[in-house]
Amino acid sequence: MKRTGVLNAEIMKVVAEMGHTDQITIADAGLPIPQDVQRIDMALVDNLPSFIDVLKAVSGELALEKVYIAEELPGRNPKVYAELCEILKGIECEMVPHTKLKEMSASSRAVVRSGECSPFANVILQSGVTFA
């Protein structure tokens, strides 16, 4: 049995298979997920687990080089945005329109759906490398 970190086998399989520049999306409960992208559904009830809880867990398992965030997030959901910035401190962040972020998620290795029920709580995590 795995001792620490994410215990979800589907998430860990995707993370273990990721290479440099591969992406995984962490989504709120409402983000449309294309049928041909792996859906890892963590949602239980409204707001459980939260977007932030899922982001903390998954981002802790990856070497991150960049993240993509909806440019609408800071103005429409400042609390989640502030928490996201704290978690991803030091990682390059690119703001994109929410419509583009939805399109980009179609290229993700997987979309991990949280139970979050607040607007624009979505992020695309781009894998880096662990060597110099």
Give catalytic residue positions. 20
Cα 82–Cα 80–Cα 32 angle in degrees, nearest 5: 140
* Closest by Cα among 52, 43, 54 to 82: 52
φ/ψ of residue 124, rounded to 5: -110, 120
What is the rounded distance in angstroms from the CA atom of residue 58 to the CA atom of residue 67? Answer: 13
Evaluate whether 131 touches 44 at the Cβ level (below 8 Å): no
